Amino acid sequence: MSYRVVTVLGVAHRERLGVVQAYRFALDLTPRQERAVLAHAGAARVAHNWALARVKAVMDQRAAERTYGIDEVDLTPTQGWSLPALRRAWNQAKSDVAPWWAECSKEAFNTGLDALARGLKNWSDSRTGKRAGRRVGFPRFKSRRRSTPSVRFTTGAIRVEPDRRHVVLPRLGRLKLHESARKLARRLEAGTARIVSATVRRDGGRWYVAFCVDVDRAARTPHQPQLVVGVDLGVKHLAVLSTGELEPNPRYLDAAARRMRRLARRVCRRVGPDRRTGRRASKRWERARARLGRAHARVAHLRRDGLHKLTTRLAREYGTIVVEDLNVAGMLANRRLARRIADAGFAELRRHLAYKAGWNGGRLVVADRWYPSSKTCSGCGAVKTKLALSERTYTCTTCGLVLDRDVNAARNLAALAAAVAGSGSETRNGRGADRKTPLAGLVAVKRQPGTAKAGNTGTVPPQGRTSDHELTYAS
């Protein structure tokens, strides 16, 4: 089963956790092997485009027939969107559409058909309101130049060789790994892991193989299970903990911006492809474009590595982690901070904490999006009506507390753990709700914090103990 959600406190007594985990390794392919992988990826693209054209043709034909006044029962029969229906249609037509179909594994064609089936289902569910989030568009045809080559294997011989330096995939044979697969091999040899599928994909000019593995993980306990930590995310510092620790923001994109601008100018000065005239790109343009792609991939890899190290350390150390439910899409509308916000990877950091806290026996608490963690005093609980983004030091006019703005917000987040001590996976938010803000938009009524009673303003206790203090407006 998929185990992306966070474990509740009662899971610690279980001996094993069944999770679906991915292991990704870089490949060192020979030119012949690379041609074979590209052929399989091309076969997936051909099957996808053929099935999409068939579905569109049937939909257009039925729409035209309705304009003629033809009854529904007499319309052209529909083409099923499910994977079995698309596979049956492909098997009937593959001899005419792709006479070379026997040269590639059946999993290659299944990869393209499966992607189309999921795309059509997401589009249909989005139109009918069954799918949350942004509206999903109708699937588009895949281009040989713009689409990412990828093929997925679910059946056949999929294994890691005893030397842990090679893997075996159907029809592709024995492929050399750039690094050792000892972590996966040890689990396979111990019988605590089972390979479900393997996906070969090109990313940033390199080929990778990703194994989807059903793993039985041993239940773990954080080093300090009773300790609560609040994590305030930001641009100046990637994460500020309620303990006072500041995690610097590496800003990988800014560090590589100069080199990437130079590579982008080099691409623009080469002779690129022109779809209007049918002009093909020059070899120098292809090489320059590949260099730029590798530069972008390096930034993404550095960011992913940094986020993994930070989230792994937090999940292994603390029993309860409290983070905010940030509106990252709305924050990206700020043109002055959009690039740095995107470079930080706030959503990816929260996603990592969600499943890693479960793996390590902890829990993740998500504060409500409208909880005033920055405006609230962590000493007395008073709430400021306004706090400009430029004010980096929080000064309380009620109790006189002077503290770094981000540290103050992190302490307020840590104090929420007791208030939402929970029953669920990603536990209830800071307002006690079991669900997030509805997709229809924000509510019209402004939420007002409660007024504290005299003498009951409360303070935030030291780390390890939390209290639910009431909120008051600062005078």
Q: Is 232 a catalytic residue?
A: yes
Q: Is 305 a catalytic residue?
A: no
> Please, what are the domains in the chain?
16-45+101-218 (no CATH), 224-250+295-422 (3.30.420)
Per-residue pLDDT, 463: 41
Q: What is the spatial distance between Cα 391 and Cα 408, in angstroms, rounded to a whole number?
A: 13
Per-residue pLDDT, 369: 86
The model's pTM: 0.79
417: left (phi over 0), alpha (psi -120 to 50) or beta: alpha
Per-residue pLDDT, 381: 85
Per-residue pLDDT, 218: 86
Q: Among 107, 324, 368, 426, which one carries the catalytic annotation? A: 324
Q: Where are the alpha helices (DSSP H) in 245-345?
A: 252-268, 283-317, 328-331, 338-344
Per-residue pLDDT, 15: 62
- The token duo for 73 is 């029962």
Per-residue pLDDT, 205: 87
Query: Please, what are the averages of pLDDT over each run of 10 residues along the chain (475 residues)?
Result: 34 64 95 96 96 95 91 89 94 94 94 96 94 91 92 94 95 95 94 95 93 91 91 92 91 94 96 90 94 94 95 94 90 89 92 92 90 88 86 87 90 82 46 43 39 41 41 39
Q: What is the spatial distance between Cα 206 and Cα 201, in angstroms, rounded to a whole number?
A: 8
Q: Among 107, 114, 368, 406, which one carries the catalytic annotation? A: 406
Q: Among 232, 343, 368, 426, which one carries the catalytic annotation? A: 232
CA 403 vs CA 237, 379, 392, 464: distances in Å: 16, 10, 9, 20
Task: Please report the beta strands in 57-165, taking only residues with DSSP state E, as ranges in sequence order.
Answer: 150-153, 159-160
Q: Is 324 a catalytic residue?
A: yes
